[in-house]
A and B are shown apart, each in its own frame.
Chain A
Amino acid sequence: MSTAEPENLAETHPGQGTPLIEMHEISIAFGGIKAVDGASVDLMPGEVVGLLGHNGAGKSTLIKILSGAYKADAGTIRVNGEEAAITSPRDAKRHGIETIYQTLALADNVDAAANIFLGRELLTGWGTLDDATMEAETRKVMGRLNPHFRRFKEPVKALSGGQRQSVAIARAIYFNARVLIMDEPTAALGPAETKQVAELILQLKKQGIGIFLISHDLHDVFDLADRVTVMKNGKVVGTARTADVTQDEVLGMIISGKCPPVAVAGPGALRS
Chain B
Amino acid sequence: MTEAAPAPASPTTEHRSLADHLREIEFDPRMIGMVAALAVIWLGFDRLSDGAFLTPRNLWNLLVQTASIAVMACGMVLVIVTRNIDLSVGSMLGFVGMVVGLVQVRLLPEIWGFEHPLTWVVSLLVAICLGGVVGLLQGALIAYLAIPSFIVTLGGLLVWRGAAWWVTQGQTIAPMDSRFRPLGGGVEGAIGTTASWAIGIAACLAICAAAAMIRRRRKRFGFTLRPLWAEILIAAIACGAVIATVTMANSYALPAGIARRLVEAKGGIWPEGGLTIGHGLAVPVLVALAVGIAMTFLANRLRFGRYVFAIGGNPEAAQLSGVNTRKVLMLVFGLMGALVGVSACISTARLNAATNAAGTLDELYVIAAAVIGGTSLAGGVGTIVGAMLGALVMQSLQSGMVLIGVDAPLQNIVVGIVLVIAVWLDGLYRKRLG
- Chain A contacts to B: CB under 8 angstroms: 67, 69, 88-90, 93, 99, 101, 103-110, 114-115, 118-121, 123, 127-129, 132-133, 135-136, 153, 155, 157-161, 164
Contact = CB atoms under 8 A, between A and B. Distances in A.
A143 to B, nearest CB: 13
A159 B26 CA distance: 18
Given A88-B322, A132-B217, A114 B310 contact: yes
B221 A105 contact: no
B362 to A, nearest CB: 28
A69 B322 CA distance: 10
B3 interface: yes
B221 A136 contact: yes
Contact of B321 (A105, A153, A158, A164): A105
Contact of B223 (A103, A132, A161): A132
A246 B224 CA distance: 53
Interface stretch (B112-120, B298-306, B343-351): B298-306
23 contacts: A88-B322, A89-B319, A99-B320, A101-B320, A105-B317, A105-B320, A106-B4, A106-B313, A107-B318, A110-B306, A115-B317, A118-B310, A118-B318, A129-B300, A132-B218, A132-B220, A135-B221, A135-B223, A136-B221, A136-B223, A153-B26, A155-B313, A157-B5
Number of contact residues on B: which range applies? 20 to 34
Q: Which of A89, A107, A128 has the most CB of B within 10 A?
A: A107
B398 interface: no
Given A89-B320, A132-B221, A135-B223, A108 B301 contact: no
Given A104-B4, A109-B309, A157-B8, 15 more contacts: A67-B320, A88-B322, A105-B316, A109-B312, A110-B309, A110-B310, A118-B306, A118-B310, A118-B318, A129-B301, A132-B217, A133-B221, A157-B5, A158-B7, A158-B434
A110 B7 contact: no
B199 interface: no
B381 interface: yes
B380 A109 contact: yes
Contact of A110 (B223, B303, B313, B320): B313
Contacts, number: 102
Interface string B276-314: 000000000000000000000000111100100111111
B323 interface: yes
A-B pairs with lowest CB-CB distance, top 5: A107-B313, A109-B313, A109-B380, A119-B322, A119-B321
Contact of A158 (B10, B26, B323): B10
A177 to B, nearest CB: 14
A108 B6 CA distance: 10
B375 to A, nearest CB: 12
Interface in B197-227: 217-218, 220-221, 223
A65 B87 CA distance: 38
A103 B4 contact: yes
A133 B317 CA distance: 23
Given A132-B223, A158-B434, A108 B313 contact: yes
Nearest to B310: A107
Nearest to A158: B10
Contact of A119 (B3, B26, B312, B323): B323
B183 to A, nearest CB: 29
B314 A121 contact: no
A67 B127 CA distance: 44
Contacts of A128: 301-302
